[in-house]
Amino acid sequence: MPIETTNHIWHNGELITWDKAQIHVMSHVVHYGSSVFEGIRCYKQPGGAGVFRLPEHMQRLIHSAKIYRMPLPYTLEQLNDAVVEVIEANGVTPCYIRPIAFRGYGEIGVNGLKSPIEVYIANFPWGKYVPGNEGADVCVSSWNRLAPNTMPSLAKAGANYMNSQLIRMEADTNGYAEGIALDTNGYLSEGSGENLFLVIGGTLYTSPLANSVLNGITRDSILVLARQMGIPVVEQALPRELLYICDEAFFTGTAVEVTHLRSVDRILVGDGKMGPVTTALHKAFFDIVNGLAADVHNWLTPVKVHEAVGV
């Protein structure tokens, strides 16, 4: 989908115009995939707008960078403030926020330790990611997720998304909204850009971090909400065939939010409709982000935007 541009992008501590945010073709990141990034949503609430779990996202960015020996020259607080600054400067809510740090122009060669680290933060309007409000028709991908001790799954690194692209393009080519990848041992892992949940007999299941998943912030939010609502939660390795016999299944992620799966490999999940556990969690999540329920977990960072532009 085409990007809807905004006026400003934050770069290394300053706001620059959208068109000035350019890099050299010989930058390290272009050749070796050396970037780490985040995807964050800012929601509109009745009294204004708020960024969902901003510190957790920026902490994950810092952690992704740390894994790749890319010390970011900004504190967590400075990065949080930078996100608020760029949203307020652009005056666009609701919006999607894309902070990215990468190894820039300096040296050639795989070892990027001497290349400068650049940090940019953009925001722009962006709607639903997985098509279909009636639930997503997905497939199990022929591609596996990243093997342990190859590309670290807990780092949200640009290079990991080459694997995600294979999963997503294959699904798209075969007429599915998304693909679910197995890990290298054949257990359920995650979608190309989403964590996966199953509901079986009223219990909520999700793959643990050791099954090559990203430590999703929406995943964590759903686990918190489920425990708070008294829904039993189990994190364990899950065999593929549970997808076909579970009662409910859904994806979570900043882009997809909470999206139920209607079918997997053309086999209906339950009766194909959003089931009661998913419905309850979906409502609890959207009530908080839309400001209809009290933000008891302090998940929203307020932003002051004068002129709101709809997605």
Ligand X SMILES: Cc1ncc(COP(=O)(O)O)c(C=O)c1O
* Site of interaction with ligand X (CB under 6 A): 39, 164, 190, 193-195, 214, 216-219, 252-254
In whole angstroms, how close is the CB of 179 to ligand X at the nearest point? 11
Strands 178-182 and 188-191: antiparallel
In whole angstroms, how close is the CB of 183 to ligand X at the nearest point? 12
Distance of CA 281 to the CA centre of its chain: 18
Centre a 10 Å sphere on the Cβ of residue 107 and count the other Cβ atoms it contains. Answer: 13
In whole angstroms, how close is the CB of 106 to ligand X at the nearest point? 28
Identify which of residues 99 and 270 has a Cβ nearer to ligand X in the complex: 99
In whole angstroms, how close is the CB of 303 to ligand X at the nearest point? 19
Active-site residue identified among 114, 156, 273, 283 = 156
Using alpha carbons, select from 286, 223, 305 the residue that is nearest to residue 56. Answer: 223
Identify which of residues 181 and 264 has a Cβ nearer to ligand X in the complex: 181
Identify which of residues 8 and 139 has a Cβ nearer to ligand X in the complex: 139
Handedness of CA 15, 63, 51, 259 (dihedral sign): positive
Identify which of residues 80 and 164 has a Cβ nearer to ligand X in the complex: 164
Beta-ladder partners of 216 = none
In whole angstroms, how close is the CB of 82 to ligand X at the nearest point? 19
Identify which of residues 86 and 155 has a Cβ nearer to ligand X in the complex: 155
Annotation says 156 is catalytic: yes
Handedness of CA 99, 52, 236, 268 (dihedral sign): negative
Residues 24, 43: Cα–Cα separation, whole Å: 34
- Is the separation of the CB atoms in 179 and 168 below 8 Å? yes
In whole angstroms, how close is the CB of 251 to ligand X at the nearest point? 8
For 99, the enclosing helix (H) or strand (E) is strand 95-103
Identify which of residues 64 and 93 has a Cβ nearer to ligand X in the complex: 64
**Cα separations (Å) of 236 from 77, 196, 210, 276?**
34, 12, 9, 22
Work out the burial of residue 266: count CB atoms within 10 Å of its CB; fewer than 13 is exposed, 13-18 middle, 19 or more buried.
exposed
As a whole number of Å, the CA-based R_g of the chain is: 19
Residues 90, 306: Cα–Cα separation, whole Å: 10
Residues that are catalytic = 156
